[in-house]
Homo-oligomer: A and B are copies of this chain.
Amino acid sequence: MGIIVQKYGGSSVADPEKVMAVARRVVATAREGHQVVVVVSAQGKTTDLLIAKAKEISPNPPKRELDMLLATGEQMSIALLAMAIHALGQPVISLTGPQGGILTDTQHTKARIRMVDGARIRQELDKGQVVIVAGFQGLTPNNDIATLGRGGSDTTAVAVAAALDAAVCEIFTDVDGVYTADPRIVPGARKLKVIDYGEMLELAFQGAKVLQPRSVEVAAVYGVTIHVRSSFSDEEGTLVKEVGSLEREITVTGVAADENWSKVTLVGVPSDVQTLCAVFSALAQAGINVDMIVQAAASKGRTHLSFTVTREDLAEALGVIDTLRADQDWEVFADDNVAKVSIVGAGMMTNPGVAAKMFEALTQVDIPVFVVSTSEIKVSCLVPRGRHLEAVRALHTKFELDPEK
């Protein structure tokens, strides 16, 4: 029947009743004849509580020691889940990330998985046991414990599935799949039966929170099929996998919105390469991620330059720019009232006019577009925040994603 990897997030194991519910689902899967590996996160708010404990001792604790502390969160949840599965009469063993062969680099608090040594997991599976592996953590070459940073448990699950050549990696969440748009915004949004890795990656980057981008990258590289499904029902969710271009029926697969952006405009800045380089180098050095960039045509050696940064980074970005500007004569404007709407679809690579159709849809409902950026499978527009949900609905209709009447 093959190996199935199941991943449960922190909210799925937040209290003893939820732990028992997860245990019942795991045992049901095992009794269907599958070998089951379970990846689990820390319970509920545990990680936040541990960080608060650290801050009581030191405002800036060493990252290695923070990882030592945070890793206890998943270690608790794997032990408790193992106890629950054992109580249901199913042989089971829990493994920490290091015991599970999750080998990482040495970037504490945001380590990346270098490889998964699946020997111990296979050995325990072959004894007829369910194997529970702690998400979000692994072992560095120095024999230290490292955590993977945000969304690390999804990545652990996909990497373990790749190492074991698992039939599928099931990611259990509080939604029942990937939708053409957020159903809370677009009531007519439809659940996708299947979505391509590239599309899923763009949707994840463009604000769909169902999967962490890093886990989709790993799945794409190793060809792991992800099944995104609900913790609360047995319904089929959405498969994330390689989709051949012949199978594609629609140009646009999904619409996403992300309101976590703000726009910075440099007015009358020198249009020489050195100045532009200086701006983006300074931002990069400050660890500030720049998303969309647009530059107006230069005139008399001067230009207008706009770019977006996250709302959290805005104050710091303006500080960096001010230092750089010093006593020069160009000006800076910030607009914290924008949002990004995106359409994603592998089909648009071979389908010209998608961007034009997007502008048309937004114009029809009178929503201005400030900045545009495109990739082969995505078009994003910066629009006024407060109107971005309306934009999503208009695009969902324009690209014929609404349910048929």
Contacts and interface: CB of A to CB of B under 8 A. Distances in A.
A50 B66 CA distance: 20
A387 interface: no
A75 B76 contact: no
A99 B98 CA distance: 11
A78 interface: yes
Given A19-B57, A72-B72, A83 B99 contact: no
A84 interface: yes
Contacts of A143: 99, 120
A118 B19 CA distance: 39
A120 B142 CA distance: 10
A368 interface: no
Contacts of A64: 93
Interface in A50-79: 50, 53-54, 56-58, 61-62, 64-66, 68-69, 71-72, 75-76, 78-79
A83 B71 contact: no
Interface residues of A, number: 36
A53 B76 contact: yes
A79 B68 contact: yes
A365 interface: no
Nearest to A72: B72
Given A72-B72, A72-B75, A87 B57 contact: yes
A269 B93 CA distance: 49
A20 interface: yes
Contacts of A76: 50, 53, 69, 72
Contact of A80 (B53, B93, B144): B53
A181 B77 CA distance: 45
A284 B58 CA distance: 51
B86 A56 contact: no
Given A19-B57, A83-B54, A94 B68 contact: yes
Contact of A71 (B50, B58, B75, B80): B75
Given A71-B75, A120-B143, A65 B53 contact: no
Given A72-B72, A94-B68, A58 B84 contact: yes
Nearest to A81: B57
Nearest to A87: B58
A58 B86 contact: yes
Nearest to A64: B93
A82 interface: yes
Contacts of A144: 99
A62 B50 CA distance: 26
Q: What are the nearest 3 A-B pairs in CB distance? A: A69-B79, A72-B72, A68-B79
